[in-house]
Amino acid sequence: MANNNMRVVVDECCSGCRLCASICPDAFDMGDNEKAVPRHKTIPASLEVEYEIAAQCCPEKAIKIFCQV
Ligand code: SF4
């Protein structure tokens, strides 16, 4: 069952390095402005690990995962 409270955003610190889209292609795409774009606003339970890995690996710490209550 999906956890509907987990959200993800990429902030302005994204350098467009493409690492997240390379290692977690089900979670991130690259936008026209060369910034990463999450494929989901609400993280599906099946992809929670991928989003967490991407957030930990992002060299700019631009990926923010938070719980919205
Ligand atoms: S890994 Fe971080 S800096 Fe690189 S494209 Fe993804 S969000 Fe942007």
Q: Looking at the domain covering 6-67, what would its CATH class be?
A: alpha beta
63 lines ligand 1 (CB under 6 A): yes
- Rounded to the nearest angstrom, the distance between the alpha carbon of 21 and the centre of ligand 1 is 8
Using pLDDT thresholds of 50, 70 and 90, give the confidence band for residue 69.
confident
Give yes or no for residue 3 having a pLDDT over 60: no
Q: Residue 68's pLDDT is what?
A: 87
Name which of 7, 15, 10 is nearest 37 in CA terms: 10
Q: Which residue has better confidence, 3 or 58? A: 58
- pTM given for the model: 0.91
Domain chopping of the chain, boundaries: 6-67
Distance (Å, rounded) from C-alpha 44 to C-alpha 42? 6
Compute, in angstroms, the gap from residue 7 CA to the centroid of ligand 1.
17
